[in-house]
Homo-oligomer: A and B are copies of this chain.
Amino acid sequence: MVFMKVNVSPDTIPPRGHEAKRVSIMDAAGEVFCRESFAGANIDMIAAEAGVSRQTIYNHHGDKEKLFVAIVRDLTDRCNAGIFATISTFPDQPKDLEADLIGFAVRMNRNCICNRDGKFLRKLIQTEGERYPELFAEWREQGPGRTWPAIAARFARLAHAGFLDIDDPDVAARQFLALANAELQTTFMLGGTPDDDEVLQSATHGVRTFLRAFGKRQPADASKQSAVTSA
Contact = CB atoms under 8 A, between A and B. Distances in A.
Contacts of A171: 182-183, 205, 209
A2 B39 CA distance: 56
Nearest to A186: B144
B190 A130 contact: yes
Report which residue of A126, A178, A179 has the largest number of chain B beta carbons within 10 angstroms of its beta carbon: A178
A85 interface: no
14 contacts: A35-B130, A38-B40, A39-B40, A123-B126, A144-B186, A171-B182, A171-B205, A174-B182, A174-B183, A175-B205, A178-B179, A178-B182, A178-B185, A210-B213
Interface of A: 35-40, 122-123, 125-127, 129-130, 136, 140, 144, 168, 171, 174-175, 177-179, 181-183, 185-186, 189-191, 205-206, 209-210, 212-214
**Which 8 residue pairs spanning A and B have beta carbons closest together?**
A39-B40, A178-B182, A212-B213, A213-B213, A39-B39, A37-B37, A129-B190, A178-B178
